[in-house]
Chain A
């Protein structure tokens, strides 16, 4: 399938390829939809197997960001920056400054922040060349809230799932299997432990799991390939996308799937299968919106309090999604997309009204 076919398939507006010979920068910026506002999305750095894989990742994730902004009552569109390179070997100041100049050239259509493989240090280099960096809030100690805010949102999402599935808005006594305990998974594990949940964790990196066990000694460790089959109430993917395939879905013994990873469904067909299997799936772009709430409306910086207060709203949004899904007899991921598309259509329609005309010259 050609690039324009791919863009047409999911309604992307713009796909930008950026290359700088001097620094070795190979970047892709995908702008999915700007109906509600500038395309907001993280910039991730990953050593993709192919150019095609990098392009598809950018297209896929930017679309999720559109839905996330729309369903979460934010005036943002969906975008994604993808740097095709090895984060442990290819980074340099010039590399990020070059990318910053490309972002600046987009004139604000794309606003970004750190994501997988990039960090605050990289953002510092970007900021020297462009102002289109999301002003994410930091804690009083200057630490990024990204992982904490996202994890806090997932916690509220899990409470919503429990309310719908078990009639109680609490994860107390539930067994939660977390796949991936990086920054988000680690914070989620802490929140869940405080709430009285039992934990099973896995990660490809042992140190990440040790970090969890040092604060939650009772967290059980399983091999990455074993996580799908472990007996649990909730499966919480917090690592990679595409992990729920037909094969893994058939192995699952949980009743709820809810995690921070984006695009965990390999296909819509798998989502329908989960629905048939009576597994409640919390749409990823709804439950992982905590990070988004670090930026207030109009892309102004939110305070830490505002971020966490707003993040709690994920509970209500998810409950609405589940109610609509039940009402219409469709899987929740389809209901959530419907809600996002409706808002985009309505707000987009309103924007056809002329709000301010140039003053007539007298």
Chain B
């Protein structure tokens, strides 16, 4: 006889990417199903826009649940990863019409993640259960000085790996036996993109824009020497989209070493490839430099430095970063990222009454200078 597992909440988490949709079902904090549904070019070819993929993706999700014998009616909540929405403060949001409308219009750009809230809402509506979005990439808790660049018409934007950063920060605070709202930490999310963020009392008050600033990454160029960049664009007569592809996708380790695979590059380093070692170590050096810069944002009052993301599983990278920053504060390492669990935990905090669901769009309070 199978043991009956008592669960108060069964939550479906949905994370749409450009060529896949990750889904997970959790009974409270226990995963029941985690699957990445791949979408071929042929699958997506009939659709003129990302938004038009709604029904297709929703149907594949429902079919996947059926295939795994998960009764859709057993769900008690649905959560979707947020997209490029309006700048909002961090937290768990109930999906509402304005959020869906912003996702449709692409207020900060079109991305498959814009489908996260609307798919969650659609499934939630049909089942009569709540639909949430947690910490979208557009979380913006910047302090006023963090917004200015040296050109008035080119402001600094808050676009970071907020979901993983906030979830990891909460984990670290719990491990420290403290409330996130009582401490100051720096979180470096080190994956295909790298975000380094100072969190003051739980708020991400500054960040490099992982697409256009900070350390170079396995495939992104990071912050660039401006004049050199201008010459590069004009000398090579590159268009806007071409240039974006150079900086995001063909930059970083790909540009220097022709690969974005940390494992492959580490093998080369171990085999004595001096150039690979220089480039790889430079990436770590730039991450450490960014952490140092963010420590000054917190005026040196840093309780911990958190390293997370895929590269936090690399002993080489962690070692190189650690030796440069551990004089600032203790370094805690959380390899990988678990966005699906982060989505579920965000929903659970609301469902359990630990947090109140926010109403989109809640914008950042302007903090005193």
Do A and B pair up? The answer is yes
CB within 8 Å of B: which residues of A? 204-207, 209-210, 213-214, 217, 220-221
- What residues on A are CB-neighbors of B97 within 8 Å? 220-221
Per-position 1/0 for B111-131, Cβ under 8 A of A: 000000010011101100000
Query: Given A210-B54, A210-B118, A220-B97, is A205 in contact with B126 using a C-beta cutoff of 8 Å?
Result: yes
B126 adjacent to A210 (CB under 8 Å): no
A206 adjacent to B101 (CB under 8 Å): no
24 A-B pairs with CB atoms under 8 Å apart are: A204-B126, A205-B125, A205-B126, A206-B121, A206-B123, A206-B125, A206-B126, A207-B54, A207-B55, A207-B58, A207-B122, A209-B125, A210-B54, A210-B118, A210-B122, A213-B100, A213-B104, A214-B51, A214-B104, A217-B101, A217-B104, A217-B105, A220-B97, A221-B97
Shortest beta-carbon distance from A180 to chain B in Å: 14
Closest to A211 in B: B55
Closest to B105 in A: A217
- What residues on B are CB-neighbors of A205 within 8 Å? 125-126
- What residues on A are CB-neighbors of B118 within 8 Å? 210
- What residues on A are CB-neighbors of B54 within 8 Å? 207, 210
A221 and B121 CA atoms in complex are apart in Å by 12
- What residues on A are CB-neighbors of B105 within 8 Å? 217
Within 8 A of A (CB), among B37-58: 51, 54-55, 58
Closest to A209 in B: B125
- What residues on B are CB-neighbors of A214 within 8 Å? 51, 104
- What residues on B are CB-neighbors of A220 within 8 Å? 97
Interface of B is mostly: helix
- What residues on A are CB-neighbors of B126 within 8 Å? 204-206
Place the interface of chain B in its size category.
10 to 19
Which of A209, A210, A213 neighbours the largest number of chain B CB atoms within 10 Å of its CB?
A210
- What residues on A are CB-neighbors of B125 within 8 Å? 205-206, 209
CB within 8 Å of A: which residues of B? 51, 54-55, 58, 97, 100-101, 104-105, 118, 121-123, 125-126
- What residues on B are CB-neighbors of A221 within 8 Å? 97
Total of A-B residue pairs, C-beta within 8 Å: 26
Closest to B54 in A: A210
A154 and B126 CA atoms in complex are apart in Å by 27
- What residues on A are CB-neighbors of B100 within 8 Å? 213
A217 and B101 CA atoms in complex are apart in Å by 7
Shortest beta-carbon distance from A290 to chain B in Å: 27
Closest to B97 in A: A221
A205 and B101 CA atoms in complex are apart in Å by 18
Closest to B51 in A: A214
- What residues on A are CB-neighbors of B123 within 8 Å? 206
A220 and B97 CA atoms in complex are apart in Å by 8
Closest to B126 in A: A206
Closest to B101 in A: A217
Shortest beta-carbon distance from A177 to chain B in Å: 16
Shortest beta-carbon distance from B132 to chain A in Å: 15
Closest to A220 in B: B97
Closest to B127 in A: A206
- What residues on A are CB-neighbors of B58 within 8 Å? 207
- What residues on B are CB-neighbors of A206 within 8 Å? 121-123, 125-126
Shortest beta-carbon distance from B127 to chain A in Å: 10
A209 and B100 CA atoms in complex are apart in Å by 12
Shortest beta-carbon distance from A222 to chain B in Å: 10
- What residues on B are CB-neighbors of A210 within 8 Å? 54, 118, 122
**Beyond A206-B125, A207-B58, A207-B122, 15 extra complex contacts between A and B, CB < 8 Å:** A204-B126, A206-B121, A206-B122, A206-B126, A207-B54, A207-B55, A210-B54, A213-B100, A213-B101, A213-B104, A214-B51, A217-B101, A217-B104, A220-B97, A221-B97
A102 and B239 CA atoms in complex are apart in Å by 68
- What residues on A are CB-neighbors of B51 within 8 Å? 214
Shortest beta-carbon distance from B148 to chain A in Å: 34
A214 and B123 CA atoms in complex are apart in Å by 17
- What residues on B are CB-neighbors of A207 within 8 Å? 54-55, 58, 122
Shortest beta-carbon distance from A182 to chain B in Å: 14
- What residues on A are CB-neighbors of B55 within 8 Å? 207
Shortest beta-carbon distance from A354 to chain B in Å: 60
A214 and B58 CA atoms in complex are apart in Å by 16
A220 and B101 CA atoms in complex are apart in Å by 11
A204 and B125 CA atoms in complex are apart in Å by 8
Shortest beta-carbon distance from B281 to chain A in Å: 50
Closest to A221 in B: B97
- What residues on A are CB-neighbors of B104 within 8 Å? 213-214, 217
Shortest beta-carbon distance from B130 to chain A in Å: 13
Which of B51, B55, B58, B125 neighbours the largest number of chain A CB atoms within 10 Å of its CB?
B125
Closest to A204 in B: B126
A207 and B59 CA atoms in complex are apart in Å by 11
Closest to A217 in B: B101
A257 and B55 CA atoms in complex are apart in Å by 32
- What residues on A are CB-neighbors of B101 within 8 Å? 213, 217
Shortest beta-carbon distance from A133 to chain B in Å: 30
A11 and B123 CA atoms in complex are apart in Å by 45
A304 and B118 CA atoms in complex are apart in Å by 36
A169 and B63 CA atoms in complex are apart in Å by 48
Shortest beta-carbon distance from B237 to chain A in Å: 39
List the 6 closest pairs (A to B, CB-CB), nearest first.
Answer: A206-B125, A206-B122, A206-B126, A217-B101, A207-B122, A221-B97
A219 and B126 CA atoms in complex are apart in Å by 19
A354 and B121 CA atoms in complex are apart in Å by 65
Closest to B131 in A: A206
- What residues on A are CB-neighbors of B122 within 8 Å? 206-207, 210
A309 and B240 CA atoms in complex are apart in Å by 52
Closest to B125 in A: A206
A214 and B104 CA atoms in complex are apart in Å by 8
A156 and B51 CA atoms in complex are apart in Å by 33
A200 and B104 CA atoms in complex are apart in Å by 19
- What residues on B are CB-neighbors of A217 within 8 Å? 101, 104-105
- What residues on B are CB-neighbors of A204 within 8 Å? 126
Which of B100, B105, B123 neighbours the largest number of chain A CB atoms within 10 Å of its CB?
B100
- What residues on B are CB-neighbors of A213 within 8 Å? 100-101, 104
Shortest beta-carbon distance from B63 to chain A in Å: 14
A7 and B248 CA atoms in complex are apart in Å by 74
Shortest beta-carbon distance from A305 to chain B in Å: 30
Shortest beta-carbon distance from A215 to chain B in Å: 11
A210 and B51 CA atoms in complex are apart in Å by 11
A209 and B55 CA atoms in complex are apart in Å by 12
A134 and B118 CA atoms in complex are apart in Å by 40
A3 and B97 CA atoms in complex are apart in Å by 49
Shortest beta-carbon distance from A183 to chain B in Å: 16
A220 and B54 CA atoms in complex are apart in Å by 19
Shortest beta-carbon distance from B123 to chain A in Å: 8
